[in-house]
Structure 1
Amino acid sequence: MCTISNTCIGPPCRSRSPEPAPLSETKTRLIFALLALFIGLLLGSAIMYTLSTDDLDPIVREHIRAKWEVEINQHNDRRQRMTEERSQWESEIKQHNDIRLEWEVEVNKHNDLHRRMSGERSQWEFEIKQHNDIRLKWEVEVNKHNDLRQCMADERSQLDSERQAWEEMRLGERKEALEEHRRAREKEEEEEERRRAGIYWLELVRAPHCTKYGTREYRAKLGPVGWGVDQLKACRETEIEIHGRMIKPNRCDDMGMFNGVWGVWMVDFDEGACRTFWGDYKDKGCTAPGSGLRHIEANLKNHDAADEWTAMCTTTPYDFNGLHFDGAISCANWGKYGIFGFWDIEDKNCV
């Protein structure tokens, strides 16, 4: 009988592990049943813990704590709302009290005003009574015044009648006095005329130059007069003929005992040599930027060198551009170039 040896002969060899035997179907089912039971126990324990009401259970306590915190938060919210509502209510009460105080103040003011108005009404009624009393007194005084006025009117009428009679008498006396005075004056004038019968002017002297535009001075000495004649009066009243006109002197100059009394005439007619005139004007432009004035100049014509050039320049009238001037505003003597007058006229183009 042959025996199989486990010893390897020849080259080394590896030992083979025995292959596991497959599980049976019964064992497999048993394993799954145990697993299902274990899972069920775990789930049951969890559910029991969840549904448990034991206060000592930590999970239950945590759950109760969470609910309690929610309720505390809700309570705090309600308390906050109540606090706000209370504050609003207190504010409204304060406003109501303020309004009530204002109303009470207004009521007090109204009562004070009513009392003042009552007092003023009483005073007004008292013043009306006084006014009526004064009016009655005034009417009595007016009646007295009217009576007095009527009495005065009657007296005035009587006085007017007496005054008229007195004035008629006085007028007659005054007429007689005036008539007597008139006769005396006429007598004096007749005597004066007789004295002045020999009054006359000596030679009339014509001034060699003009005094101003169109005017020349004439002078004449009063002739001998009789004793007692007022020479200045005779000078002022005695006429002389100049250019065919009889005129009295403009003034009289008493030159003393030896030179006598002289009459002076300022003749402003028929003096053609004294009638200077202006040549064409020249526009010299604006006096200065923004001045609003334009400078005009013109040459004086028909001027005698013997005449006072300033007087002639400032009195010679000039019309240009619809403007009239009694004379130049300023003058200049430029020698051989002549006498020039200057005007500064308003011009909006120079603004």
Structure 2
Amino acid sequence: MAVKFSTSLSNDPLDPDVRDRIRKDWDIELRQHQKEVLERIDTQKRWRLEDNERINLREQWGTEVEKHDREVEDRLRRDEEHKSHMHEQWEREVEEHKKEVEELRRREEEERLRLNMFWTDLASHTCTTYATREYTARLVNVPSYYNRRVEACMATPVKIHGIEYMPKWCEDHGPNDVIGHWEVDQHEPDCASYWIRYKDFGCISPGSGQRRIEHYLEHLPSGADWKEFCATTPASFLGMHFMGSEFCFQNNGGTYGHWVFDDESCK
């Protein structure tokens, strides 16, 4: 009887050829696995290096931030110390200046008193504004060498109506011609104008919510500025008080003042 041999590969694990083939497959798989392991190890090493770099970078950033914060705090502290120093220096300079001014004023006062300067030729002039008159006088006993005549003028009082007043301003025309000017607003009845002839013009227009009042200005001093006196002569009416007229005009030589104010009855 004839025997037939199969040409297909055997899968018998006891077959030496099969075992060799299995070993080769194992070797291939082992080398592939080892390769993958080495690649994973390399990847892990690279990750650890990157992590270390990130950690080092964060630490470096933290150090730089702390350094920057310290520098900012130091700069702010120095700036504050500089400001405090400058403020203290400014206060010292202001105080020293005040002391110098006060000392100069004291010496000038002593010099003025020693020289016995005083006023003469006191004269009254026109009324300048409501209840106010201008006065002038000449300062005498001023030496020709004295070069602070205006300061002496401004520091020397004069008595008017029993009250001492300091000059409002001074003119220096030379040692014997220093003129002081005063504006006296007390005890000057001839300068006190007043309002009469109260007239209510009613609402300025329907629904305007405003009313117009007119007064005539009486006792206007001769030669006085009518606009000035109109604007500075006080007025009181309907429970309201005004320091002067809001609108002024003249008619037939007379001076009139007008006031416009809110009025609920005109709405």
TM-score by length of structure 1 reads 0.45
Which of 165, 168, 189 lines up with 1:250 in the alignment? 168
- Letter aligned with residue 261 of structure 2: I
Contact 2:108–2:152 (CA under 8 A) maintained in structure 1: no
1:197 counterpart residue number: 115
Contact 2:142–2:176 (CA under 8 A) maintained in structure 1: no
Give the number of aligned pairs: 193
1:287 counterpart residue number: 204
RMSD over equivalenced CA pairs, Å:
4.0
Which of 246, 250, 259 lines up with 1:333 in the alignment? 250
Deviation at 1:335, TM superposition (A): 4.5
SS of the counterpart of 1:189? helix
2:225 counterpart residue number: 308
Post-superposition Cα deviations, 1:109-128, rounded to whole Å, max 9, x if no partner, equal: xxxxxxxxxxxxxxxxxxxx
User: Matched residues in 2 for 1:226 and 1:248: separation?
Assistant: 21
Please say which structure displays the higher CA radius of gyration.
1
Deviation at 1:211, TM superposition (A): 1.0
Contact 1:195–1:226 (CA under 8 A) maintained in structure 2: no
- Letter aligned with residue 202 of structure 1: T
1:138 counterpart residue number: 61
- Letter aligned with residue 64 of structure 2: E
Contact 1:297–1:342 (CA under 8 A) maintained in structure 2: yes
User: Matched residues in 1 for 2:205 and 2:248: separation?
Assistant: 20
Greater RCO structure (CA 8 Å; 6+ sep) = 2
Deviation at 1:235, TM superposition (A): 1.0
Question: Which has a greater percent of strand?
Answer: 2
Q: Percent identity?
A: 38
Structure 1 segment 45-60 matched on structure 2, within 5 A: none
| Structure 1 gap segments, 5+ residues each | 1-128, 161-173
Structure 1 segment 86-97 matched on structure 2, within 5 A: none
User: Matched residues in 1 for 2:216 and 2:238: separation?
Assistant: 17
Post-superposition Cα deviations, 1:40-79, rounded to whole Å, max 9, x if no partner, equal: xxxxxxxxxxxxxxxxxxxxxxxxxxxxxxxxxxxxxxxx
- Letter aligned with residue 155 of structure 2: E
1:299 counterpart residue number: 216
Which of 194, 212, 221 lines up with 2:138 in the alignment? 221
- Letter aligned with residue 319 of structure 1: S
1:12 counterpart residue number: none
1:212 counterpart residue number: 129
2:183 aligned with 1:266, yes or no? yes
Deviation at 1:292, TM superposition (A): 3.6
Contact 1:196–1:234 (CA under 8 A) maintained in structure 2: no
Structure 1 segment 50-89 matched on structure 2, within 5 A: none
- Letter aligned with residue 344 of structure 1: V
2:263 aligned with 1:347, yes or no? yes
SS of the counterpart of 1:296? strand
